[in-house]
Every structure is written in structure tokens, then in C-alpha cells.
Amino acid sequence: MLTVLAPAKINLTLEVLAERQDGFHEIRSVMQAVDLCDSLRFQSGQDIEFKPDAPGWVAGESLLSRAVGLLQESTGCA
């Protein structure tokens, strides 16, 4: 099993700039790292399984949920 830490940050300022051709926007931001992180654990297997353990987490309402869904779609793994 592989465990990777994903460090947290706080956006102190965030300015949304021009829209790009891909529909996303350029941004200007000042960020500060904080002493928090998520632990991501990866294990070899045939399926993509997503098991968050955060209190109060609601399925489908996070960017991570969306990313996992897109990964499942693009690979054909559920």
C-alpha cells in the first residue's frame, strides 16, 4: 500500500481573471501553507474504491468526489 500526504493551504486572496479557451479562468492568489494534510492511501486492485473518513463528509459535494467519478468513467472501473 502507498500512502501520500496532501498538504493543505489557505487562500489569503483570490482574484478570478480572464476566462481561458478551455472554459476555466486564470487566477491570481496568495496562499499560505498550514500544518494540516489529508492522507491518501493507494492499493493495487481491479476497481477504484473511494472511502473517505472525514466527519460530516457528504458524497458528491467535493472536488475529490468529482475527480474519482471522472477517473472511474475514463478507466471503466467502478
Question: pLDDT at position 1, please?
Answer: 84
Neighbours of 64 (CB within 10 A): 15
**Dihedral in degrees, nearest 10, Cα atoms 63, 7, 57, 44:** 80
Each residue of 25-60: pLDDT tens digit?
999 999 999 999 988 888 877 777 777 777 887 777
Q: How confident is the model at residue 78 (pLDDT cuts 50, 70, 90)?
A: low
Question: Quick one: 30 and 53 in the same domain?
Answer: no
Residue range(s) defining the domain that contains residue 28: 1-43
Question: Quick one: 62 and 51 in the same domain?
Answer: yes
pTM for this entry: 0.53
Question: Quick one: 34 and 49 in the same domain?
Answer: no
Question: Quick one: 76 and 39 in the same domain?
Answer: no
Question: Quick one: 53 and 35 in the same domain?
Answer: no
- In the chain, how many domains are there? 2
Question: Quick one: 49 and 38 in the same domain?
Answer: no
Q: Provide the H-helix boundaries in 1-78.
A: 63-75
